[in-house]
Amino acid sequence: MSKLRPLEYIFSITNSGTDKLIMFLGIPIRIDQSKYYREICETLPVQKDKIVFENFNGNSYGCNPKYIAEEIIRRNLPYDLVWLVRSVTKEKEKNVFPEQIRLVGYGSKQALKELASAKIWIDNQRKNYFLKKGLRKKEGQYYIQTWHGSLGIKKLDADVDAFVGELKQEWVNRSKLDSSMMDYLLTDSEFENKIFRRALWFNNEIKEFGHPRNDIFFKDSIKIKQKVRDFYNIPEDKKILLYVPSFRDSGNIDCYDLEYEKVLKAMEDRFGGDWICLARLHPRTKKYDKELIMESDKLIDACFYPDIQEMLVSSDVAITDYSSCIFDFMLSRKPAFVFATDIKDFNNDRGFYYPLETTPFPIAVNNKELVENVLKFDDEKYQKDITNFLEDKGCMEDGHASERVVDLIEQIMKEEV
């Protein structure tokens, strides 16, 4: 405890999440405010035209929620669209949000009020932060959970044997509460139907609509590709390699040792042209970007571009270890490779739903193998492997997921609150 002045030592108050910490005569007394917030939320009426969006707990304009919002705007539907962001000021400076969307600070009391009065919540991550604050879904409200991975190989929540027993019971209970409030969970395949229901403790209605963020792979993307190139000042004659590694539960960052120059040279030898690499770390590890990504005329730090889907569409080749974004990229049928130096350790720690070897992607555990895989890449085999993989997983992505979700939203909005 920091040293307090005499009067502060007698009585001082600080806020900590939903708790208020009261220091009385040097004795800390923590008061849970969630009941107070819950009572406020319960008194707010549900507004029949309001939708509140979240993307990775306050991140910018991206993932499935973005593409649902885009379809709502395209249809010119008369809804009050609210997006919760970490910094309203910074997001306005970026100028990436459409004018039809209101921005509200993620951790603010106003955010809690917006959620408490919305007809529909749309999120790609759990609402545990707000549940801790005291938020509860009310009669007349709907919760559409889009999730954020496609055909993911990494085990989720209840299926992670290595640490599920070590998870704080508070987190497990809150996650189960979150799942119990979800009305609809979006999937894109028979595989996800089975996995999501079990791993996410979900017992309500699954909507096998496809993932809205993947509609982008089925549409004209010329303007998007130019947008990404303009953002990073990449000339038209440059080909783009996207490196998108996942996080490690242990926090280890030693596994990100891609030898960019050697790999780019292999790309030039196999596919022709002049290449540049965009490196994008996972949100959990992007704070190490300056340490791990030494920018040059061949390597660009792309950790903070708002929408990874636009980057995937704009890239000619992708490399990852275990990120599910590679299964989105696969829909473009462009070459993709796995570079994973710690497969055995990762499998022991988190676990895979299926062996990496069953994916269409050539696998390398070191840079030498990766270069060899690039040089001997067989596109004909790769295309057949993609087709077989998608059929095996029962994938139904067709570019119309956003339309299906907004059709559902229109049905919900017609119901009386």
- Considering only CA atoms, which of 232, 225, 317 is closest in space to residue 275? 317
What pLDDT is stored for residue 33 in this prediction? 67
SS3 44: coil
Residue 337 lies in a domain: yes
pLDDT in tens, the chain (417 residues): 344 444 443 444 444 445 555 555 566 655 566 776 788 788 899 999 999 999 999 988 999 999 999 999 999 999 999 999 999 999 999 999 999 999 999 989 999 999 999 999 999 999 999 998 889 999 999 999 999 988 988 889 888 865 555 557 788 889 999 999 999 999 999 999 999 999 999 999 999 999 999 999 999 999 999 999 999 999 999 999 999 998 776 667 777 889 999 999 999 999 999 999 999 987 777 766 677 787 889 999 999 898 999 999 999 999 999 899 999 999 999 999 999 998 888 887 788 899 999 999 999 999 999 999 999 999 999 999 999 999 999 999 999 999 999 999 999 999 876
Q: Say which residues have a Cβ less than 8 Å from residue 304's Cβ, sequence separation at least 6.
A: 286
Number of H helices, E strands in the chain: 18, 16
Same domain, 227 and 175: no
Residue 386 lies in a domain: yes
The structure tokens listed for 322 are: 């275990």
DSSP state of 275: E
What pLDDT is stored for residue 47 in this prediction? 96
The structure tokens listed for 389 are: 């993989």
Cβ atoms of 398 and 354 closer than 8 Å: no
> Which residues of 116-216 form beta strands (DSSP E)?
118-123, 142-145, 184-187, 205-208
Same domain, 141 and 228: no
Same domain, 274 and 382: yes
Q: Containing domain of residue 52, as a range?
A: 38-214+399-413
User: Integer distance in angstroms from the first to the last C-alpha of the chain?
Assistant: 49
Amino acid at 411: Q
Same domain, 338 and 408: no
Same domain, 125 and 156: yes
Residue 64 lies in a domain: yes
Helix (H) or strand (E) holding 309: helix 308-314
32 forms beta bridges with 19
The enclosing domain of 285 has a CATH number of: 3.40.50.12580
Residue 1 lies in a domain: no
Same domain, 17 and 123: no
CB-count burial class (<10 Å; 0-12, 13-18, 19+) for 300: buried
184 forms beta bridges with 144, 205
As a whole number of angstroms, the distance between CA 23 and CA 34 comes to 19
Pairing of strands 47-54, 80-85: parallel
Same domain, 251 and 132: no
Residue 407 lies in a domain: yes
Same domain, 234 and 370: yes
How many folded domains does the chain comprise?
A: 3
118 forms beta bridges with 47
Residue 254 lies in a domain: yes
Same domain, 280 and 324: yes
The enclosing domain of 112 has a CATH number of: 3.40.50.11820
Same domain, 88 and 190: yes
Same domain, 240 and 204: no
Amino acid at 230: D
Dihedral angle, C-alpha 50, 56, 60, 63, nearest 10 °: -80
As a whole number of angstroms, the distance between CA 48 and CA 140 comes to 9
Amino acid at 51: I
Same domain, 66 and 210: yes
CB-count burial class (<10 Å; 0-12, 13-18, 19+) for 36: middle
| Backbone dihedral angles phi then psi of residue 112, each to the nearest 5 degrees | -60, -40
Widest CA span in the chain: 77
Cβ atoms of 231 and 224 closer than 8 Å: no
